Amino acid sequence: MTTAAEYPYARGDLLDKPHTYFYTPFQGADFFPAWERSRAEALAGPAGMPGPVGGEASNTGQFLTRVEAAFQSGEVPAEVVADLERLLRNFEAKKRIYEAYDANFTSKNRTDFRQLGLYIRFGDVMALAYTRWGRLPYLNALIKGLDILCAARANLSDGERLRLAGLVRSERGYVSALAAKLGVGDLCP
């Protein structure tokens, strides 16, 4: 008798107790249906148009706005890419998005990481970066950010839940395309 795989990464208070993802046991192909079930809740959001998310006035929100604008213009300057990489490294180390960073992308206040709108905006930027460059660190950060957002889904506004659902659909598409490219089958039907 086999035990059904679980996806425990999108549960609990991930803002106060982030997952490290270290020494994660291999669960085989059953892991993907468990991941799908976990994400299905985020897709069952409210009807309507996505609304604004918070954090626009923060220094991080302003940076993410600048990055999104660079992607939309078609050319992302090297200094923006370098800053994006620093933010990505900080997120990978801390599993948090802070409201304000210094020039080296070190948090200015280690307690200001609860603005969920910034996690959504970070997810938008990771999706843009992965779409543009196809580098796995961007997809990895998107998945981890969505774990945080799915765990905190009850604290999101209706507009933020709609934005989350859009990011989950993008995530599913990326994972499915990657699986097909690697020849491991259709993981996200």
Task: Say which residues have a Cβ less than 8 Å from residue 167's Cβ, sequence separation at least 6.
Answer: 120, 123, 124, 127, 142, 146, 149
Q: Name the CA radius of gyration of the chain, rounded.
A: 16
Q: What is the pLDDT of residue 70?
A: 95
Q: Residue 156 corresponds to which amino acid?
A: L
Q: 79 pLDDT band (50/70/90 cuts)?
A: very high
Q: 185 pLDDT band (50/70/90 cuts)?
A: low
Tell me the pLDDT tens digit for each residue of 157-173: 988 999 999 999 999 99
pTM: 0.84
pLDDT at 189 over 60: no
Tell me the pLDDT tens digit for each residue of 7-46: 777 777 777 777 777 667 766 677 777 778 777 877 776 6
Q: What is the pLDDT of residue 51?
A: 58
Asked if residue 58 lies in contact with residue 99, where contact means CB atoms within 8 angstroms, the answer is yes
Domain positions in the chain are: 28-43+54-182
pLDDT at 82 over 70: yes
Q: What is the pLDDT of residue 52?
A: 59
Task: Say which residues have a Cβ less than 8 Å from residue 53's Cβ, sequence separation at least 6.
Answer: 116, 117, 118, 120, 121, 157, 159, 160, 163
What mean pLDDT comes out for the span 71-79?
93
